[in-house]
Amino acid sequence: MPTIKDVAIRAGVTVTTVSRVLNNRGYISQSTREKVHRVMKEMHYQPNEIARSLTRKRSMMLGMIIPTIAHPFFGELTNYIENYASSLGYKLLICNSRMDKQKEKEYIDMLKSNRVDGVIMGSHTLDVEEYVKLKQPIVTFDRRIADIPYVSSDNYKGGVLAAELLLNKGCKKIAHICGNLSLDLLGNKRSEGFIETLRHRSMEPAVIELGTDVFEHSDYERVILKLLQEHPDVDGLFASSDIIAMNVIKVCSSLGIKIPEQLKLIGYDDIQFAALMNPSITTIRQPLEEMAKLAVDLIDRLAAAETVPLEHILPVTIVERETT
């Protein structure tokens, strides 16, 4: 591959001159500029970004750590993040932590070594100090850690909305299935909002907590089956993610429980499949695209040494479909 030096020689100027036209700095005559450009074309010159990163001390690279990109929620989120990041000139390095503490740690070290300009954390098995020792700008999804800026949807409000809709639909016996509450995630507020709202109406929902293993769907089905068998009178259910809701539909179908006639179901996230499911899922919609943009903007501003507010809670909306 030709280097800047090769271009300079061929164009009959010095590397500084070539660098100047490359970076639009200093004074360069039109004719020189054109000649340099022509030579670059001729030689198929592509500036070596690695070398540039080294001198500029800026890699224009972002790291993103998530449980797995195969999960539709993270897939959609990452998609938005990559789209927006690339429009700002950033590249995206993805890291599937698989919710493994060790891997998460290794990825953090790797990202540091690669001098990424910032990291977006969507996987949270680590303790506070691990984050803090990271010197790069960080933004977190759905978790508040020390003084690291975070982005989340209004989880509490989402829970409230779900409760109110089930109540309005006349549900008498309500249940809730949520992820593992032992992880310190803001997503847990969905459950809080939901439960507290019901309690205001003197109702106590049956609550079931799932394991931390995002990948084991068969486990989901087992737990849901148990819930539905132990509480056959349940007529309203709030699942803390659309994936869980999909599993509920599946189990109900096998049990012959009709949705929404016998059981009304609400999910959370509004991933694309919520609408594609049969029946399509009523859900609490997170504004994923805005959340993604916000996260990238925060990193961008942090990288420019700006100080940014810590808390970024975006509004949710309820999307009514066929399950209610």
Partner DNA sequence: GACCTTATGTCAAGCGCTTGACATGTCAAA
Partner DNA sequence: TTTGACATGTCAAGCGCTTGACATAAGGTC
Radius of gyration of the chain (CA): 25
By three-state DSSP, how is residue 292 classified? helix
- In angstroms, rounded to a whole number, what is the distance separating the alpha carbons of residues 266 and 318? 9
The smaller minimum CB distance to its own copies, of residues 70 and 310, is found at 70
Q: How far is CA 250 from CA 117, 212, 221, in A?
A: 43, 21, 8
Q: Locate 118 and state its tokens.
A: 């910032």
Using CB under 8 A as the binding rule, whether residue 37 contacts its own copies is answered as: no
Between residue 53 and residue 92, which ones bind DNA under the rule CB under 7 A? 54-57
Give me the 101-130 binding string for its own copies, x by CB under 8 A, dash otherwise: --------xx-xxxx---------------
**Of 140, 247, 282, 283, the one binding its own copies by CB under 8 A:** 247
Residue 107 CB, nearest distance to DNA (Å)?
Answer: 19
- In angstroms, rounded to a whole number, what is the distance separating the alpha carbons of residues 201 and 212? 31
- Give yes or no for a contact between 224 and 251, defined as CB atoms under 8 angstroms apart: yes
- In angstroms, rounded to a whole number, what is the distance separating the alpha carbons of residues 53 and 160? 47
Q: Locate 314 and state its tokens.
A: 């975006």
Using CB under 8 A as the binding rule, whether residue 53 contacts its own copies is answered as: yes
Span from 46-54, 175-183, 201-209, 307-315 in contact with its own copies (CB under 8 A)? 46-54
Give me the 202-241 binding string for its own copies, x by CB under 8 A, dash otherwise: ---------------x------------------------
Using CB under 8 A as the binding rule, whether residue 42 contacts its own copies is answered as: no
Q: How far is CA 206 from CA 203, 238, 247, 252, 268, in A?
A: 10, 10, 18, 17, 18
Q: Residue 16 binds which entry of its own copies, DNA, none, with Cβ cut-offs from 5 to 8 Å by kind?
A: DNA
Residue 265 CB, nearest distance to its own copies (Å)?
Answer: 12
Query: For residue 149, is the peptide bond before it cis, meaning its omega torsion is within 30 degrees of 0?
Result: no
The single-letter code of the amino acid at 258 is: K
Using CB under 8 A as the binding rule, whether residue 32 contacts its own copies is answered as: no
Residue in the structure block whose two tokens are 């959340």: 291
Q: How far is CA 243 from CA 72, 87, 269, in A?
A: 9, 30, 9
Using CB under 7 A as the binding rule, whether residue 112 contacts DNA is answered as: no
Using CB under 7 A as the binding rule, whether residue 20 contacts DNA is answered as: yes
The smaller minimum CB distance to DNA, of residues 91 and 169, is found at 91
CA angle 84, 105, 83 (to 5 degrees): 10
Residue in the structure block whose two tokens are 């049956």: 206
Residue 250 CB, nearest distance to its own copies (Å)?
Answer: 6
Between residue 284 and residue 313, which ones bind its own copies under the rule CB under 8 A? none
Phi-psi region of 206 (alpha: psi -120 to 50; beta: other; left: phi over 0): beta
- Give yes or no for a contact between 295 and 308, defined as CB atoms under 8 angstroms apart: no
Residue 48 CB, nearest distance to DNA (Å)?
Answer: 3
Using CB under 8 A as the binding rule, whether residue 269 contacts its own copies is answered as: no
User: Total number of residues binding DNA (CB under 7 A)?
Assistant: 28
- In angstroms, rounded to a whole number, what is the distance separating the alpha carbons of residues 214 and 163? 25
Span from 45-53, 154-162, 208-216, 284-292 in contact with DNA (CB under 7 A)? 45-53
Using CB under 8 A as the binding rule, whether residue 242 contacts its own copies is answered as: no
Q: Interface with DNA by CB under 7 A: which residues?
A: 1, 3-5, 13-17, 19-20, 22-23, 25-29, 31-32, 47-48, 51-52, 54-57
Q: Which residues bind its own copies (CB under 8 A)?
A: 1, 44, 46-51, 53-54, 59, 61, 68-72, 75-76, 78-79, 82-83, 86, 91-96, 98, 109-110, 112-115, 133, 135, 217, 243, 246-247, 249-250, 253, 272-273, 275-280
